[in-house]
C-alpha cells in the first residue's frame, strides 16, 4: 500500500485569518485533486501566520479561529488536513495542530516545548502541552509534533511509545546562515533515536525581520534524507510512503526529488530578496526609493530591490555634494542603467547651504566637526523621505551590520527609511554577495567592488581612516555580538591589539541608542540586531568581563 503525504509550503499574511483559511482550503483541494495525497500537512500556526506576537492577546482571536476551523471542516473532504493554529482550551491558550477529516476534528496536539530565547517568545503566550496525539490515517499510526518539539528527544520518543509509525512535524523555523544543515543533522538524530521516518514541513515567507525559507524535507528511519522541497519557493510537495505490515519498518518513505543545496551567498541573497519582497507587498507599498551613492552597499541594496519587486517599481536617487567624486557619479549612473531603474540626480549643495546659513548664528564660535558631515546625510534623508511621502514609495536604507554595530551611520540621515536588507550583513559578506550577484548577471561595476569604501562626507575620506580593516573589524564584531565574548576573552585569542578591541566594543555599546531607532531588516545570522539582541541603552556593564 502507498501512503502519500503532501507538504504545503505556503506564504501567509500574519493576522489575516480569513484569507489564510482560504489558502489552506485551496491548497488542501489541490493536494487531493492534483497530487492525489492522502494527507496534507501545513506549518505551525498557519491560520494566524507566524509569528502572530501580541495578536494572540486580542479578544476576538478565539472566535476567529473557531470560525476558521469550522470553515475548513465544512469545505474540505476526502483528504486528511493537519494544520497549525492557536486554540484556547479551558481558559489557557495552546499552540495546536489539528487533524481534520470528513467534517470532523479527529484530534488536537498541543506543542510541548515552548522556546523562549533569541527571536522566540512562546512562553509569553502559550501553555505547554503534555500528551501525545496518534491518529490512524490509512492504517498508518501518525504522531504529531510542532517545531521546537523536534529539537528535543522527549516528544518524539513519547509519540513512539504511544504507537506512532510516522511523525509529522509542523514547523516555523526561521532562516539563518547554515540553518539548513543544522536541521538535517537534527532530524537525523531524532529519526535514529526513534527508528521512525519524519516529515518536516516548514513555513515559507517573511514577517518583518524574520525569513522562513521553506525547505520542507523527509528523512527515513535511519535519518537519511529522501525528499527535499525547494528553498524560498511556495508550493505543495508530495512524498510517498510504502506501507507493509510484514516488514520491521512498516512505513518507509520512497525516495524522490531532492532540491539542490544552496551556497551561503546564494541562501543569504535569496533571504534578502524574499524579506524585502514580502515586506513591500504585504504592507502594500507602491515601490522602493533609495539613495544611490556609487558605493558598494547601495549598489547591492539596489540589486536586491530590483530582484524583489522589479525595476519598474524602483527609483534610485544620486544626491551629490562637494565631496562626491566623479567616480561615484559615474558608477551610480552605470548601476542604474544596468538594472534599468528610474534614476534621478538631485544635488544637495543648495539645501545644505541653506541649512548652514540658518544655523550660522548657532554655530558661531565653534569649529567644523562631524556636525557638518552629518548635515549632508540628514539633507539626503529629508530628500528621500519627501519622495517617499509624495510617491508612496518606501525608503530602503543601505547601511550594513558593521556600520550599524559601531555607529558609523547618521541618525535621521542615512538611517532614514522603512527597511534594510543589509542590517544583518557584515561588510566582508557584502563584498561576497556582490560577487555572487554578478554571477547571475553583471549589475555591480567591478570598480564599485574594488575601490576603498568611503562615506564621502569630507575630502579624501575612506572608512579605514576611522575604523580598522573590515576583515579585523568584522571578526571582532562577530566574536562580541554573535558569540558574546568579552574583551578579555577576545584578546586571549592572541589575534588583536588591546586598544582596537576595547575601542570597537565601546563603540558597539555606545551606539545601542542608534540601533533602537534604525529600521527593521532581514535577520540572517544567529544574532541579529533587533529581536535577537536586546541590550539596555543605559547600563554600567564592563565590557572586559
Write out the catalytic residue numbers: 44, 111, 147
Pairing status of strand 217-219 against strand 198-202: antiparallel
- How far is the C-alpha of 164 from the C-alpha of 133, rounded, in Å? 9
Collapse the DSSP code of 63 into the 3-class scheme (helix H, G, I; strand E, B; otherwise coil) and give the result: helix
Residue 94 contacts residue 129 (beta carbons within 8 Å): yes
What is the DSSP-derived secondary structure letter of residue 478?
A: I
Collapse the DSSP code of 134 into the 3-class scheme (helix H, G, I; strand E, B; otherwise coil) and give the result: strand
Residue 529: asked if its preceding bond is cis (omega within 30°), the reply is no
Q: Output b/e per residue, 216-225; b: 16+ Cβ within 10 A.
A: bbbbbbebbb
Annotated binding site for deamido-NAD(+): 374, 403, 514
86: left (phi over 0), alpha (psi -120 to 50) or beta: beta
- How far is the C-alpha of 72 from the C-alpha of 410, rounded, in Å? 51
Say how many C-beta atoms besides its own lie within 10 A of residue 343's C-beta: 18
Q: What strand order describes the sheet that includes 314-318?
A: 342-345, 314-318, 287-291, 393-397, 419-420
Q: What are phi and psi of 224, to 5 degrees?
A: -85, 135
**Of 72, 147, 140, residue with least CA distance to 115:** 147
Sequence-separated (6 or more) residues with CB below 8 Å from residue 139: 1, 243
What is the DSSP-derived secondary structure letter of residue 55?
A: G
479 grid coordinates: 566574536
What is the DSSP-derived secondary structure letter of residue 538?
A: S
138 grid coordinates: 490509512
Residue 510 contacts residue 407 (beta carbons within 8 Å): yes
Annotated binding site for L-glutamine: 173, 179
What is the DSSP-derived secondary structure letter of residue 411?
A: T
Q: What are phi and psi of 340, to 5 degrees?
A: 70, 30
The DSSP bridge partners found for residue 145 are 169
How far, rounded to the nearest angstrom, does the alpha carbon of residue 503 sit from its chain's CA centroid?
A: 30
- How far is the C-alpha of 32 from the C-alpha of 35, rounded, in Å? 6
Amino acid at each position: 500500500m502507498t501512503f502519500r503525504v503532501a507538504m504545503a509550503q505556503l506564504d501567509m499574511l500574519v493576522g489575516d485569518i480569513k484569507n489564510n483559511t482560504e489558502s489552506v482550503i485551496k491548497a488542501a483541494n489541490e493536494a487531493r485533486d492534483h497530487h492525489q495525497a492522502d494527507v496534507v500537512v501545513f506549518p505551525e500556526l498557519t491560520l494566524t501566520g507566524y509569528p502572530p506576537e501580541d495578536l494572540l492577546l486580542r479578544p476576538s482571536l478565539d472566535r476567529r479561529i473557531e470560525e476558521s476551523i469550522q470553515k475548513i471542516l465544512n469545505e474540505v473532504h476526502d483528504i486528511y488536513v493537519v494544520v497549525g493554529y492557536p486554540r484556547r482550551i479551558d481558559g489557557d491558550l495552546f499552540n495546536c495542530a489539528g487533524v481534520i477529516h470528513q467534517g470532523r476534528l479527529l484530534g488536537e496536539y498541543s506543542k510541548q516545548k515552548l522556546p523562549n530565547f533569541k527571536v522566540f517568545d512562546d512562553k509569553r503566550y502559550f501553555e505547554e502541552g503534555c500528551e501525545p496525539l496518534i491518529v490512524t490515517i490509512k492504517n498508518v499510526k501518525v504522531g504529531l509534533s510542532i517545531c521546537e518539539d523536534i529539537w528535543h528527544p522527549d516528544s518524539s520518543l513519547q509519540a513512539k511509545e504511544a504507537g506512532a509509525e510516522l511523525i509529522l512535524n509542523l514547523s516555523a523555523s526561521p532562516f539563518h546562515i547554515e540553518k539548513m544543515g543544522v536541521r538535517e543533522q537534527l532530524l537525523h538524530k531524532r529519526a535514529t533515536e526513534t527508528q521512525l521516518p519524519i516529515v518536516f514541513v516548514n513555513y515559507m515567507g517573511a514577517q518583518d525581520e524574520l525569513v522562513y525559507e521553506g525547505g520542507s524535507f523527509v528523512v527515513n528511519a535511519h535519518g537519511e534524507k529522501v525528499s527535499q522541497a525547494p528553498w524560498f519557493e511556495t508550493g505543495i510537495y508530495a512524498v510517498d510512503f510504502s506501507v507493509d505490515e510484514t516488514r520491521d519498518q512498516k512505513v518507509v518513505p520512497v525516495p524522490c526529488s531532492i532540491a539542490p543545496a544552496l551556497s551561503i551567498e546564494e541562501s543569504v541573497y535569496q533571504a534578502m530578496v524574499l524579506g524585502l519582497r514580502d515586506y513591500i507587498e504585504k504592507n502594500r507599498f507602491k515601490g522602493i526609493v533609495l539613495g544611490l551613492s556609487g558605493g558598494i552597499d547601495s549598489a547591492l541594496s539596489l540589486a536586491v530591490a530590483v530582484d524583489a519587486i522589479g525595476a519598474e517599481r524602483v527609483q534610485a536617487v544620486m544626491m551629490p555634494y562637494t565631496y562626491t567624486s566623479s567616480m561615484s557619479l559615474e558608477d551610480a549612473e552605470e548601476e542604474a542603467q544596468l538594472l534599468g531603474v528610474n534614476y534621478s540626480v538631485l544635488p544637495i549643495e543648495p539645501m545644505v547651504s541653506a541649512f548652514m546659513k540658518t544655523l550660522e548664528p548657532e554655530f558661531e564660535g565653534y569649529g567644523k566637526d562631524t556636525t557638518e558631515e552629518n548635515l549632508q546625510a540628514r539633507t539626503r534623508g529629508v530628500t528621500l523621505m519627501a519622495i517617499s511621502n509624495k510617491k508612496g514609495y518606501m525608503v530602503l536604507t543601505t547601511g550594513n551590520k558593521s556600520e550599524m554595530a559601531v555607529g558609523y551611520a547618521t541618525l535621521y540621515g542615512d538611517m532614514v527609511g522603512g527597511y534594510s536588507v543589509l542590517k544583518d550583513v557584515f561588510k566582508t559578506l557584502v563584498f561576497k554577495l556582490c560577487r555572487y550577484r554578478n554571477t547571475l548577471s553583471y549589475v555591480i561595476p567591478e570598480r564599485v567592488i574594488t575601490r576603498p569604501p568611503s562615506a564621502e562626507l569630507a575630502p579624501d575620506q575612506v572608512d579605514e581612516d576611522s575604523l580598522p580593516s573590515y576583515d579585523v573589524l568584522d571578526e571582532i564584531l562577530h566574536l562580541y555580538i554573535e558569540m558574546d565574548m568579552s574583551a578579555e576573552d577576545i584578546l586571549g585569542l592572541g589575534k588583536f591589539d588591546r586598544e582596537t578591541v576595547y575601542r570597537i566594543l565601546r563603540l558597539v555599546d555606545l551606539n545601542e541608542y542608534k540601533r533602537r531607532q534604525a529600521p527593521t531588516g532581514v535577520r540572517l545570522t544567529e544574532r541579529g540586531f533587533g529581536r535577537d539582541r536586546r541590550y539596555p541603552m543605559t547600563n554600567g556593564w564592563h565590557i572586559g568581563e
